[in-house]
Homo-oligomer: A and B are copies of this chain.
Amino acid sequence: MSTISSIRPHAVMTARFRTTRARTLALVAPLTPEDMMVQSSPEASPVKWHLAHTTWFFESFVLREFLAGYKLFHPDFAWLFNSYYQSFAAFPEKRLRASFSRPPIDQILRYRQHVEEGIDRLLESEADPEALRRIELGVNHEEQHQELLLTDTLNAFFSNPLRPAYLPESGETTGEPDTLCFVPYEGGLRQAGHNGEGFCFDNELPRHRVWLEPYALATRLVTCREFAEFIADGGYRRPELWLSAGWDAVQQNGWQAPLYWSADSSHDRTLFTLRGERSLRAMEGAPVSHVSYFEADAYARWAGHRLPTEFEWEAAAEDQPVEGNLLESGNLVPIPQFPLPFLNAVQKKAVEDPSAAQDPKSTRCSLWGDCWQWNSSAYLGYPGFKALPGSLGEYNGKFMSGQMILRGGSCVTPAAHIRATYRNFFSPETRWQFSGIRLAQ
């Protein structure tokens, strides 16, 4: 969470709040009220619920406490759209969200407007710094749900046997990326975690020292073609490539390919995307997505490499601009990565001849976008970690068990939302996220 020095002026916050709220509506524009009802897996939520819950967050943690005279839009919404804040209010079982045909979408949209007017009023006044911090948290929270609503829509449309597309097919180049190379990084005693300038979540704090041995990261993500070779080589049938729990998951779930790949293993194989069904051939050069940690780990073992730790990844990303195939680029589908243009002459040399002398600081590869990258680090609190006080302390801290770290954002992540210290986390079996593979060695 941001420290006091990070509070932006009201005008900036107002703009950021409005832009974010407007983008959420823009993202659901292709969807019908019926589409917004679907909850196609236990991990997912209906889009309508996302629209309401992000609004509930501002109402519950900002307006109720900080806007004098604020009148709740509807008393039931205070618990109906609570996700998991046990200390705030009771909440319905997650699976029941699929039954929320009432309130209708029109009422949810009025709810959004009502709360937005409240935030506007608050921002026009001399708002409490804590209120501003909470609004900023709410904006970041809504950005997370922007990503989630797209992720959930992909799953919902995949569950529909008709396989509708969220957006029409686009004509972007597919191409074939360069050979995968590794860029070396020096280790040493490094700082990890957020430095306090600008917004961050509580789980990025405190900044602390970590010791890193020298390492190297792949210049780009593993592609669909490369992953298809793993499959063809019996990747899903060879227990020696898998963690024990991963092998159990393969057996129990019958995994034979990433999620959204057709069962057909022939050359006519297809992948389902937010732009509809695509042939694997057309996607060969794009990063493989929707793999679990177990699949990422097995692939790395098969390839003779490993996954990076979160600190290796963070140290490499620290001074790299957040650029890549993120939400703003409008693809909404992973596309082939061409890392070399990002490199200068020294870097190119390092990549082409790793043994050559090099200036490690200037050597880097593109680390952002397309797919979240599974790290070999478990999601745990940093030394001295303290959750936010009150109900907001449930935001992140209570999930520090049984999950693995992912870094780097995906093609459905807002660029403004992430940073080098940003920690995403999911259970190692998770596949419905845009999650892919960055190799390390």
Contact = CB atoms under 8 A, between A and B. Distances in A.
A96 interface: yes
Interface stretch (A51-59, A127-135, A242-250, A326-334): A242-250
Contact of A101 (B37, B92, B101, B105): B37
A161 interface: yes
A114 B264 CA distance: 35
Nearest to A312: B383
Interface stretch (A140-148, A204-212, A268-276, A277-285): A204-212
Contacts of A242: 398
Given A33-B33, A34-B101, A40-B98, 14 more contacts: A32-B102, A37-B37, A86-B240, A92-B161, A96-B159, A100-B160, A101-B164, A102-B162, A102-B164, A242-B398, A243-B398, A243-B399, A244-B401, A294-B401
Contact of A102 (B33, B35, B189, B394): B35
The 10 closest A-B pairs by CB, nearest first: A378-B378, A37-B37, A99-B159, A34-B101, A35-B101, A86-B239, A244-B398, A243-B401, A99-B160, A209-B211
A84 B401 contact: no
A128 B233 CA distance: 36
Interface in A206-250: 208-211, 213, 239-240, 242-247
Nearest to A208: B213
16 contacts: A32-B104, A34-B36, A34-B104, A35-B101, A37-B38, A39-B98, A96-B159, A100-B162, A102-B160, A103-B162, A208-B211, A211-B211, A213-B383, A240-B394, A245-B402, A309-B383
Contact of A38 (B98, B189, B210, B401): B98
Given A34-B104, A38-B98, A96-B159, A211 B240 contact: no
B35 A34 contact: no
Given A33-B33, A189-B211, A377 B380 contact: yes
A93 B342 CA distance: 48
B34 A99 contact: no
Contacts of A33: 32-34
A87 B240 CA distance: 7
A43 B234 CA distance: 30
- How many interface residues does chain A have, given as a range? 35 or more
Interface in A287-305: 293-294, 297
Contact of A96 (B161, B244, B377): B161
A99 B38 contact: yes
Interface string A406-441: 000000000000000000000010000000000000
Contacts of A156: 99, 101
